[in-house]
Chains A and B, each alone.
Chain A
Amino acid sequence: MSKLSIIVSSERLDKLYPAVVLASSAATMGWDVELFFTFFGLLALKKGYQPSSLSTDYISYNEIFSEAISKGSMPRWDEMLIKAKETRKLKIFACTTTMGLLKIGKNDLKDFVDDFAGSATFLDRSKESDINLFL
């Protein structure tokens, strides 16, 4: 079966959504999927934090984006992930480097995080992937 690995390096919606859309579609197709949340992508996994803004370049689209999500025409990113995880094909890894850097402890992370990984672990896991993306 195919495998998709994505490095999620930003919690801005214009980066987070493409990652989550591809990941959840792949999981429903029966693919193995691994997401590695690193640097400012890791903020999305922090308890009590909800990503809500696009990158500065696209900030003028913020309202349109929020409206699509609140109306339900675009599912919420975390709901997509949780639903995709029901396939048991999708795993979410938190980057330990970033946890140290941003002072985020294991207990600060949302419940849908599966495991922690350093760069060597993720590289080793992703080398067998058919598709590797950095977003």
Chain B
Amino acid sequence: MYKVDIEVDAKYSFCPGPLLKLFEAAKKAKPGQIIKLLATDPAAPDDVKNWAESIGHEFLNVDEKGEVYEIYVKIIGS
């Protein structure tokens, strides 16, 4: 669906684990790149959406595949 540049696996990590892993990946990403975050924490989709909005990245979508959320974020600035 999206051309994923970086995949981050944060499955079975509780809040704020997924956010911290995503944050680390976002620091290394270039503007325009898309990160796919895998998480099982039920708070992760909303947390990532709030994080992206407050930091200025673009929250693209979330796909729920069984217990795993596939969350897509587009990096805007650095």
Contact = CB atoms under 8 A, between A and B. Distances in A.
28 contacts: A21-B15, A25-B15, A25-B16, A25-B19, A25-B47, A28-B20, A28-B55, A29-B50, A29-B51, A29-B55, A30-B54, A30-B55, A31-B54, A72-B17, A73-B12, A73-B13, A73-B14, A73-B17, A74-B13, A74-B14, A74-B17, A75-B13, A75-B20, A80-B16, A80-B20, A83-B20, A83-B23, A83-B24
Chain A interface bracket (under 10, 10 to 19, 20 to 34, 35 or more): 10 to 19
A68 interface: yes
Given A29-B55, A68-B14, A74-B14, 14 more contacts: A21-B15, A24-B16, A25-B15, A28-B23, A28-B51, A29-B54, A72-B13, A73-B17, A74-B17, A75-B17, A75-B20, A80-B16, A83-B20, A86-B27
Contacts of B14: 68, 73-74
The interface residues of chain B, by DSSP majority, are classed as helix
Interface in A62-97: 68, 72-75, 80, 83-84, 86
